[in-house]
Amino acid sequence: MPPFKFVPYLKSVLWGGNKIAPFKGIVTDQKSIGESWEISGVPGHESIVAEGDDKGMTLPALIEKYGARLVGDKVYARFGNTFPLLIKLIDAEKDLSVQVHPDDRLAKERHNSLGKTEMWYIVDAEPGAKIYAGLSEQITPDDYTRLVGEKKIMDVIACHDSHDGDLFFLPAGRIHAIGAGNLLAEIQETSDITYRVYDFDRRDAEGNTRELHTEQAKDAIDYKVYPEYKSEYDREAKGEVPLIDCEYFDVNLVKADGHQDIAINHDSFMVIMCLEGECQIITDHGTITPMRRGETILVAAATASVEANGSATLLTAQA
């Protein structure tokens, strides 16, 4: 089967900006677009096939039709018709709220949901942009409650200068926030469970503050201080470069300049995001799928070989 393209779900939010539509080459009157859900199996926001023989079909229906041929034997045995990853582009014109996500155990217990481990790849960072990830000093759960009450929680959250190409891995439990001026790609477990810790005392048009989840977050936070929160990789390497390898997803950066083979693990589907340039994705089925900046495709696990032909920077993700 050929790779699939989906209709993006564009989400307008309080902190959203104006970068996503031009980045994706979309013309729209929609304002304050903070997120483009590129591939989603989240109930109520399931991605819809954009073209081809299966146009109009939802992602869960697509999995039901093709089964393990699409998502891979291992993935299908574990998740069935549930797609295990959520793929997004995020544009922060303003600071996002400070958040934490529960791990699988806590999310299952409280919400009958997967937890949320995620990663960010910075596509474009304005001068002075920041990423907040992890704790800068040791605190206890009681310290956390006090600091939130005193509106001083930012004093103990590690702040990082953000640059194009920076990489952050955010295991469930790591407190974090995206600072203003960041356009990034996010790959995460399929979960929409978020505990809001702090929202900079912002108010909506009616003068209301957003709900905080202080007590729920208290049990979800990893209070350990780590020596480094930014993930390093070989930025000068050509071809395919490993970025993140965890139990939920494997993510590589592919710099295509001409013909570039892309490694595929046949136990899983592959998501390909084009972050710069344009190329053709060529598979063993003889299909040629054009990609340009801002597009995302889903390649079936049954695909024997994948090649990028062109000049492009790609992210690939497998479960």
Q: Are residues 215 and 250 in the same domain?
A: no
Q: Are residues 201 and 254 in the same domain?
A: no
Provide DSSP, the chain: ---EEEE-EEEEEEEEESSHHHHHT------SEEEEEEE---TT---EE-SSTTTT-BHHHHHHHHTHHHH-HHHHHHHTTS--EEEEEEEESSPPPEEE---HHHHHHHHSS----EEEEEEEE-TT-EEEEEESS---HHHHHHHHHTT-GGGGEEEEE--TT-EEEE-TT--EEEPTTEEEEEEEES----EEEE-TT-B-TTSPBPPP-HHHHHTT------S--EEP--TT--EEEEEEE-SS-EEEEEEEEEEEEE---TTS-EEEEEEEEEEEEEETTS-EEEEETT-EEEE-TT---EEEEEEEEEEEEE-
Provide the residue count of the chain.
319
Q: Are residues 155 and 173 in the same domain?
A: yes
Q: Are residues 101 and 171 in the same domain?
A: yes
Active site residues: 196
pLDDT bucket at 208, cuts 50 / 70 / 90: confident
Say what the pLDDT of residue 285 is.
80
* pLDDT at 156 > cutoff 90: yes
Nearest to 291 by CA among 265, 260, 248, 252: 260
| CATH at 175 | 2.60.120.10
φ/ψ region of 67 (left if φ > 0, alpha if ψ in -120 to 50, else beta) reads: left
Nearest to 268 by CA among 295, 306, 239, 309: 306
Instruction: Look over the chain and give the mean of its residue pLDDT values, rounded to a whole number.
Output: 96
* pLDDT at 203 > cutoff 80: no
* pLDDT at 96 > cutoff 90: yes
* pLDDT at 202 > cutoff 90: no
Say what the pLDDT of residue 201 is.
84
- Whose tokens are 């995620």? That residue is 118
Say what the pLDDT of residue 183 is.
98
| Mean pLDDT of all residues in 138-157 | 96
* pLDDT at 310 > cutoff 90: yes
| Mean pLDDT of all residues in 268-279 | 98
Q: Are residues 268 and 199 in the same domain?
A: no
| Mean pLDDT of all residues in 281-307 | 96
Q: Are 111 and 105 in contact (CB under 8 A)?
A: no
Instruction: State the binding site for Zn(2+).
Output: 101, 118, 176
Total domains, the chain: 2
Q: Are residues 176 and 114 in the same domain?
A: yes
Q: What is the pLDDT of residues 97-136, one digit of tens each?
A: 999 999 999 999 999 998 999 999 999 999 999 999 999 9
Q: What is the pLDDT of residues 50-86, one digit of tens each?
A: 999 999 999 999 999 999 999 999 999 999 999 999 9
Q: Are residues 205 and 270 in the same domain?
A: no
Domain termination site, one of 197, 231, 265: 231
- CA distances to 51, 100, 108, 182, 234 from 60, in Å: 16, 27, 21, 31, 36
Q: Are residues 130 and 220 in the same domain?
A: yes
| Mean pLDDT of all residues in 3-11 | 98
CA distance 162 to 132: 9
Instruction: State the binding site.
Output: 101, 118, 176
Say what the pLDDT of residue 242 is.
97
* pLDDT at 255 > cutoff 80: yes
Q: Residue 70 sits in which domain range?
A: 4-231
Q: Are residues 302 and 162 in the same domain?
A: no
Q: Are residues 298 and 199 in the same domain?
A: no
Q: Are residues 182 and 257 in the same domain?
A: no
One-letter amino acid identity for 157? I
Q: For residue 60, report the phi and psi dihedrals to the nearest 5 degrees.
A: -60, -40
Q: Are residues 50 and 125 in the same domain?
A: yes
Domain termination site, one of 231, 250, 279: 231
pLDDT bucket at 182, cuts 50 / 70 / 90: very high
Whole-model pTM? 0.95
What percent of the chain has a predicted confidence (pLDDT) above 70?
A: 100
Say what the pLDDT of residue 286 is.
85
CA distance 245 to 251: 6
Domain termination site, one of 185, 214, 231: 231
Supply 129's token pair: 């942009």
